[in-house]
Structure 1
Amino acid sequence: MHHLTFTAQDQDRGNRLDRFLADAAAELSRARIQALIKDGQVTVNGAAITSPKHRIQPGDAVDLKMPEPEPAQPEPEDIPLDIVYEDDDIIVIDKPAGMVVHPAAGNWTGTLVNALLAHCGDSLSGIGGVRRPGIVHRLDKDTSGLMVVAKNDRAHRRLKAQFTDRGRAGKLLREYQALVWGAPLPALGTIDAPIARHATNRFKYAVAPARGRDAITHYRTLTKYSAPDVEGEDKTVAALVACRLETGRTHQIRVHMAHIGHPVIGDPLYATGFSNRVAALPENARSAILSLHGQALHAAKLGIEQPATGAYLSFTSDLPQDMRDVIAALSAES
């Protein structure tokens, strides 16, 4: 058994214990956290707390005991994986859009975990819990790109420390490329806006300064694309942006880009008000956007320190074909 220890900050005041831990220990599902709390595995300032609804205060020391992982319940499945790199400690995957990372309600099979169990067998780390072996961080189902997975518990702990540290002491790099509506102004900037679960829609997250956890995204505009408007004048309609994560909140890039008025193209949650933009585009561009396999968001660069040797490893992934098709169609109009 090992321990994960966290200290509540000012922005955590009054937050539920299970929500606090779900954000702080992102490798664990909220359901698993609730089960651990009810099982007496969580203390606050040294006192055992068994209610997930317990409200925490700034300065609270929260200790989570992690029992030895149970055998993974998902079945191994012979699903092809695009393996970018593999050694005795880690495996780096280029995940396609449409693949769920770990089994959950409605997606018990066909996930990355099912594929990893078949590929790696018993070597996967179990820190992520019964249904998330080896998973250090994750990508949304319809986000493609680079992910690193731990193959043993030592690697998992050291990788998780890199992600928690946000690259301050090391060289962790997570950079995404996204096609967004319009073009951000300024073209280079930082979005520092806390994120919390949406107040009314449990599938969404939102910028929430009073109750959200800190979330920081650095972006830069790579290319702007224009198309003729109804009067025949060229107008910037979209841009390709690179987003470097300093934190890793759920839906962070999607929420942040929508927050500044430039949601990710094809995003079913955060770009719902932009369907008229699609309809106004020339046929080729409209068809390419409607053919996207998900939001136009791709984890393009990943830099980590190898957890056993400390050697710096850097990986890049080309944009998927559907995003390249959109770029080609928009470029033809520019």
Structure 2
Amino acid sequence: MSDPFKEAAGIRKVLTADETAEGRLDAWLTAKVGEDFSRSRIKALVKEGAVLLNGVPITDPQRKVRPGDSYQITLPEPEDPTPKGENIPLDVLFEDDDLIVISKPAGLVVHPAAGNWTGTLVNALIYHCGASLSGIGGVRRPGIVHRLDKDTTGVMVVAKNDVAHRHLSQQFADHGRTMPLERAYQAIVWGRPSQLVGTIDAALGRSTGDRTRRAVKRSDSHDADEAVTHYQVLERFHENPDATALASLIDCRLETGRTHQIRVHMAHIGHPLLGDVVYGAGFKTKANLLPEAAKKVVNRFPRQALHAYLLQFEHPRSGEVMHFESPLPDDMKELAAALRA
């Protein structure tokens, strides 16, 4: 039997809730629409007014579905799952037949996903590398063995064939315990950690309130993943006689590589990253304690102040230990200079 929703994509379709209908509107619609549309996509369509109840737009995806409700939903054409090459400039640090190492700028999403189907690093790599990219990471993530958040800058390595992909993936899964993989970041955080050198050992999992966020979890929680971050304070800005400081530049080394790990861990110990609107929004008013010139720079800083400055790994073919570093980007240099003033 054909799927009427695939056939009706792009037109309005009527759905009637039967006597068994229950739960949130976005969840119910997702179950009815099928695999072409994720729950997050359906949720977005509801918020955009693409769903009508008795001819009236409803924009609350959490609304409870009741038996007898009649909904009209306008479905866009499903996205093409295969990314296309796009001529997006890349800052290439190294390239050979097996891999490519780049310095990722802020604002560049690594791979296509809901809301970012084009303009990603994958689109740029397909254009740059052509058919040589490894497909082992999936259609939408060819060659990707690790990632950086959209607004995090720094060094990344991408595999150009399946052998390189497997070898590099093993190194990232090992987290440098028995292999030479090493990753280091620099971040500017609010305050100054009580210890100049320390380790944060706190398991992470999805936030119960917002599944796009991560949160510290009890280690015995069913969804907890081990997460360990080592940090060192490199510089203190506006230090006080009692050894406190308004902000600090820190070095972070990862023992694990969880999503948002540094951002969540630093917020967990009370020192979120400057510019982090997800995990550090409550600290934004601290900028009012700065001199006016520095306050302006901090308030207009558009992202979390995090840069992946070092990446080391073993080359999958030669076995040579490859070491790459990328200096702080200009916006973080300007931020640090303003805090020093």
Give 1:24-63 correspondences, 5 Å limit: none
* Higher relative contact order, chain-length normalized (CA < 8 Å, sep 6+): 1
Match of 2:274 in 1: 265
Q: Which residue of 1 aligns with 2:196?
A: 187
Q: Where does residue 216 of structure 1 map in the other structure?
A: 228
- Aligned counterpart, 1:244: 253
In the alignment, structure 1 residue 200 sits paired with structure 2 residue 209 = yes
Corresponding position of 2:187 = 178
Q: How big is each residue's C-alpha offset from its partner over 1:117-164, in whole Å with a ceiling of 9 and x where there is no partner?
A: 000011001111111110000000000001100000100000000011
- Could you tell me which residue of structure 2 aligns to residue 106 of structure 1? 115
How far did 1:221 drift? 0.5
Matched, 1:281 2:290: yes
Residue matched to 1:225: 237
Distance in 2 (CA, whole Å) between partners of 1:290 and 1:121 is 41
Question: For residue 144 of structure 1, what is the aligned residue in structure 2?
Answer: 153
Larger radius of gyration: 2
The partner residue of 2:94 within 85, 103, 106 is 85
Aligned counterpart for 1:253 among listed residues 252, 262, 271: 262
Q: Contact 1:72/1:133 (CA < 8 Å) preserved in 2?
A: no
d(CA) in 1 for partners of 2:197 and 2:295? 27
Task: State the superposition RMSD in angstroms.
Answer: 1.8
* AA partner of residue 277 (structure 2): P
Q: Which moved more, 1:162-171 or 1:311-320?
A: 162-171
TM-score (norm. length: structure 2): 0.74
Percent of pairs with identical residues: 57
Asked whether the equivalents of residues 192 and 244 of structure 2 are also in contact (C-alpha less than 8 Å), the reply is no
Amino acid of the residue matched to residue 318 of structure 1? P
**Which of 129, 135, 139 is the matching residue for 1:130?**
139
Deviation string, structure 1 residues 59-106 (Cα, Å, up to 9, x no partner): xxxxxxxxxxxx971110000000011111110110001000001111
Aligned twin of 1:326: 335
Distance 1:216 1:228 in 2: 30
Q: 1:234 to 1:287 in 2, by over 3 A?
A: farther
What code does the residue aligned with 1:202 have?
A: R
Give the C-alpha shift of residue 283 in structure 1.
Answer: 1.6
Q: Distance in 1 between matches of 2:108 and 2:250?
A: 23
- Unpaired runs of 5+ residues, structure 1, are 1-30, 32-70
Following TM superposition, where does structure 1 have runs of at least 4 consecutive aligned residues deviating by more than 4 angstroms?
none
Indicate if the aligned counterparts of 1:101 and 1:138 stay in contact, CA closer than 8 A. yes
TM-score normalised over the length of structure 1: 0.75
Mapped contact 1:171–1:312 kept (Cα < 8 A): yes
Cα separation, 2, equivalents of 1:275 and 1:172: 35
Flag the 1:95–1:243 CA change in 2: closer, same or farther, 3 A.
same
Is this contact kept in 1: 2:191–2:244, CA < 8 A? no
Between the aligned partners of 2:290 and 2:93, the Cα distance in structure 1 is: 36
What do the CA deviations read for 1:262-301 (whole angstroms, capped 9, x no partner)? 0011001100111210223222211212232310000010
Residue 137 of structure 1 aligns to which amino acid in structure 2? H
CA distance in structure 1 between the aligned counterparts of 2:91 and 2:253, rounded to whole angstroms: 23
Amino acid aligned to 1:133:
P
Say if 1:249 and 1:234 are closer, same or farther in 2 by CA, change over 3 A. closer
Q: CA deviation at 1:200?
A: 0.9
Residue equivalent to 1:13: none
- Could you say which residue in structure 2 is the equivalent of 1:42? none
